[in-house]
Amino acid sequence: MAQAITDADFEAEVLKADTPVLVDFWAEWCGPCKQMLPIVEELAGEYEGKVKIVKVNVDENTEAPGKFNVMSIPTFIIFKDGEPVTTFVGAKSKEDIVQELNAVS
């Protein structure tokens, strides 16, 4: 299952992670975010141990989305070695996300 994180633990969970991290910036009221939820959860199971998958609620956490210029949701950013390496916005197919994850893992 994708782990919910906050601004307070963003650095420890994402920037200092030993593996690549896919961050899902989302909000409860966002239709496309809800559409992506089953895909994100599937990927969290499939990539366990290879890629950490976390979720940041942008309504409850504003620091990380601001720092990484999240203007629309859902926004997905893949971090590797503490740096953002790929960003994509909006609903994507599972295959598209798998391709991005395989490129960094």
Return the pLDDT at 69. Answer: 96
Q: What positions carry a catalytic annotation?
A: 30, 33
Return the pLDDT at 92. Answer: 95
Verify cis geometry, omega within 30 degrees of 0, for the bond prior to 74.
yes
Return the pLDDT at 105. Answer: 83
pTM beyond 0.85: the answer is yes
CA nearest neighbour of 24 among 13, 105, 103: 13
Cα 6 to Cα 62: distance, rounded to the nearest angstrom:
9
Other beta carbons less than 10 A from residue 10's beta carbon: 21
Mark the ranges of the chain whose per-residue pLDDT is less than 70.
none
